[in-house]
Structure 1
Amino acid sequence: MIKTSGVEYHRFVEGQKKPDPWERHASLVLRMALVFVASAALAMVTIALLSMNSTKSQLSQMMHKLEERTYDKTGSTFNQHYQQFLEFLKEHDRRYDDPEEFNFRFENFRKTIEKVENLKHLEKLTKTEFGINEMADKSEDEIKEMLLPLDHYKKLRKEATFIKPQPPRDQLPKKDQSPYPAHFDWRDHGVVTPSRSQHHCGSCWAFATVTTVETTYAIAHGVLRNLSQQELLDCNLENNACNGGDVDKAMRFVHDHGLMTADQYPYVAHRQNSCALNDYEGPTTKLELAYFLNPDENAMMEWLVNYGPVNVGISVPPDMTPYKSGVYHPSAYDCQFRVLGLHALNIVGYGTNEDGEKYWIVKNSWGPKWGVEQGFVYFARGVNACGIEDEPIGILA
């Protein structure tokens, strides 16, 4: 429970019940932040106008508009968003004591609400649901820090030294060639670990690599191990930890050294000064081979059913962060012109909904409170949405 300093709390809307101490603390921080922002804005307007030799009437008019905007923040919409933000902070166990930080997070939250409202028309057309999740108080700049550079996948196939082109079918281990089922999901076979969060670190490359190894190894050997992403951050020095990395270098590392378990080497979301693998003498989990698959839906389905998950990369548009459920259909325009960054993920299944919409079942690394079914997304299948079918990778373990 957060303690307050005895400051009396006044609600924006009269007649509501007396808030608990947590709300008093949050309200005090918010009021301080609003006073700071309003004062700074008024000062900036005054200085700017005086420097331009504006008339007294111009100054009065612009200050009146600013006062109206400040007053509007105490209206019913603002108060509703404020109450939603308090609930969000409690649900996700977050606390912002600094007034500037509190105001920054609240404004990000309000922008997310506006984004979700603007996406309501898509919900009606596609039955895709958007809403508030644990990323709602992050700025776009913070989200970009979690992603890979825009040219990452253009260079991957060209510069790869470990991942090879997919060989002919007769050179791969023989598998059942019967027709593929209409729906397939490796989660139903107990070989997919729960979705975990990469947090503020740009380590999607490590999470995607680890998931590929975990599930493929479990399929081949009947043992599911929750493996360590942190080992790749600390020990795979060819990659740049939270500043990005590529799966070619990561997969070579796993082939050469193997992965410890997440219990042995827990995730801390930053590169540490030493590599725990150097002092470890126990068994590790390795992969054997990695292939660039043919970039089309059928080749990806064939590999998925016969060998295991498909490691993929996508462009991330702004409307992916508030995704909650349904088949996600990013627009071609957003995938090309409104990209926040690139992102590595894993396809673990596929299906078709009652409306005939085909989708991939994709495991993300934004935590179990994001997306559908605790950390997954149903991504449109067969249309190369945001490049998801451009650079598929499969492994053998």
Structure 2
Amino acid sequence: MVSGRKSKDFAMASRFAFLFLFSLLIATSFRFSVAGDDVTTGAAASDDLLIRQVVDHGEDHVVDENSLLNADHHFAIFKKKFSKSYASQEEHDHRFSVFKANLRRARRHQKLDPSAVHGVTQFSDLTPREFRRQVLGLNRRLRLPSDAHKAPILPTNDLPADFDWRDHGAVTPVKNQGSCGSCWSFSTTGALEGANYLATGNLVSLSEQQLVDCDHECDPEEKDSCDSGCNGGLMNSAFEYTLKSGGLMREEDYPYTGTDRAACKFDKTKIAAKVSNFSVVSLDEEQIAANLVKNGPLAVAINAVFMQTYMKGVSCPYICSKNLDHGVLLVGYGEGAYAPIRLKEKPYWIIKNSWGPNWGEEGYYKICRGRNICGVDSMVSTVAAVSTS
């Protein structure tokens, strides 16, 4: 009996030690993926550049994990594919160093997020700090006001298994915010474009530049927290501005420039869409799905740490921060994606991004539904439009 008890105790201890070491490995990998991403020199530079990625040789060419990447070769392909050029040899060498660091980073992301494909993207020559500053832009100083209007609870028993507003004509083509932290404005216009379509039957592309130039709506509960063009903003504040100003103009009447140095050119005689009301959706995935189906695409905030290296597939990382730093548009959901880390098929959200159609899956991102992955369920807003006619 004593011998049997010792064997059981030893087995339990071994199992605990394995779980502890596995957790430590994941935590260490994630720490280096997030905290160590700006390091481009030192011992890590000699790391093996093994990575699963897709690069363009006239057609997609997959380099599997058993291949040793030639960094010079892939940097040359990267520069050609994304029309990259640098002002000096010193800048070129610096960007090559950043590129190699991002190959290692993509390799770490691949291990942490095996159901997606990570590799070289148009952002592979940017440090994570540059990436955050240039192409994110959700103002983290801003938060939903405590008195924000809550969306009513909707029935969820008859929701379709799969739904995509692109199939119903409510989503404009993917846009590109460029090197301006104006993601919040694209999330705002995307939601209002869908709502306006439901109200009028017409899909109209709305002006992000109007929001960048003219929207300085502030959070009354937090000093100095205002929508600030390329320096960030918040979708609900932008809805508030749109409600107060009377509406948004068409993109063709107020085109996007990707800078915030110009004066506001808002013309009330050219309003194309008006906000009737907006509200915050409950932190409940069934309610988010119900609001999506009933009210159109939803403005959503997300943590974009895995998006810099994302190429395709369903992103379902083992661990992801819920610190929100990017505004996107939720346009649909599905049920049929296989997620190896869950050992079963996993439902997912379909996200429209604002980095152009050459990023991700033709400008779109798929992320797991369930457990608020990367904070995707934390800040969700729905907007209603009123016909301008």
Cα separation, 1, equivalents of 2:262 and 2:379: 33
1:81 to 55, 60, 71: 71
What's the secondary structure of 1:277's corresponding residue?
A: coil
**What is the aligned partner in structure 2 of residue 384 from structure 1?**
372
Q: In the alignment, is the contact (CA less than 8 A) between 2:195 and 2:384 conserved in 1?
A: yes
- C-alpha distance after superposition, 1:261-288 (max 9, x if no partner): 222212111113311214x632321121
2:131 to 143, 150, 153: 143
What's the secondary structure of 2:348's corresponding residue?
A: strand
**What is the aligned partner in structure 1 of residue 250 from structure 2?**
261
Give ranges in structure 2 of 5+ residues lacking alignment: 1-40, 49-66, 218-226, 339-344
Cα separation, 2, equivalents of 1:282 and 1:262: 11
Residue 99 of structure 2 aligns to which amino acid in structure 1? F
Please say which of residues 144-153 and 192-201 is displaced more in the overlay.
144-153
Q: In the alignment, is the contact (CA less than 8 A) between 1:230 and 1:269 conserved in 2?
A: yes
TM-fit CA distance, 1:120: 4.0
**What is the aligned partner in structure 2 of residue 99 from structure 1?**
89
Residue 277 of structure 1 aligns to which amino acid in structure 2? F
Residue 165 of structure 1 aligns to which amino acid in structure 2? K
- The residue correspondences of 1:238-277 to structure 2 (distance < 5 A) are 238=217, 239-255=227-243, 256-277=245-266
- The residue correspondences of 1:228-247 to structure 2 (distance < 5 A) are 228-238=207-217, 239-247=227-235
Q: In the alignment, is the contact (CA less than 8 A) between 2:115 and 2:315 conserved in 1?
A: no
- The residue correspondences of 1:1-397 to structure 2 (distance < 5 A) are 80-122=70-112, 126-145=114-133, 146-148=135-137, 151-152=140-141, 155-158=143-146, 163-167=148-152, 179-238=158-217, 239-255=227-243, 256-278=245-267, 281-317=269-305, 319-332=306-319, 334-335=320-321, 342-355=325-338, 356-372=345-361, 374-397=362-385
What's the secondary structure of 1:268's corresponding residue?
A: coil
Cα separation, 2, equivalents of 1:287 and 1:221: 13
The TM-score, its normalising length taken from structure 2, stands at 0.72
Please say which of residues 226-235 and 111-120 is displaced more in the overlay.
111-120
Q: 1:78 to 1:187 in 2, by over 3 A?
A: same
Q: In the alignment, is the contact (CA less than 8 A) between 1:185 and 1:349 conserved in 2?
A: yes
Cα separation, 1, equivalents of 2:69 and 2:116: 28
Cα separation, 2, equivalents of 1:309 and 1:245: 19
Q: In the alignment, is the contact (CA less than 8 A) between 2:196 and 2:202 conserved in 1?
A: yes
Q: In the alignment, is the contact (CA less than 8 A) between 2:170 and 2:296 conserved in 1?
A: no
Instruction: Kindly tell me the number of residue pairs found equivalent between the two proteins.
Output: 309
Cα separation, 1, equivalents of 2:79 and 2:262: 32
What's the secondary structure of 1:85's corresponding residue?
A: helix
Residue 253 of structure 1 aligns to which amino acid in structure 2? Y
Q: In the alignment, is the contact (CA less than 8 A) between 1:363 and 1:376 conserved in 2?
A: yes
Residue 295 of structure 1 aligns to which amino acid in structure 2? L
Residue 326 of structure 2 aligns to which amino acid in structure 1? H
Cα separation, 1, equivalents of 2:256 and 2:166: 23
TM-fit CA distance, 1:177: 7.6
Please say which of residues 290-299 and 351-360 is displaced more in the overlay.
351-360
Higher Cα radius of gyration: 1
The TM-score, its normalising length taken from structure 1, stands at 0.71
What's the secondary structure of 2:321's corresponding residue?
A: helix
Moved over 6 A (4+): none
Structure (1 or 2) with the greater helix fraction: 1
What's the secondary structure of 1:287's corresponding residue?
A: strand
**What is the aligned partner in structure 2 of residue 14 from structure 1?**
none
Residue 231 of structure 1 aligns to which amino acid in structure 2? Q
Cα RMSD for the two superposed structures: 2.9
What's the secondary structure of 1:281's corresponding residue?
A: helix
Structure (1 or 2) with the greater strand fraction: 2
What's the secondary structure of 1:347's corresponding residue?
A: strand
- C-alpha distance after superposition, 1:139-181 (max 9, x if no partner): 111112133467446x2233x6xx5122465xxxxxx987111
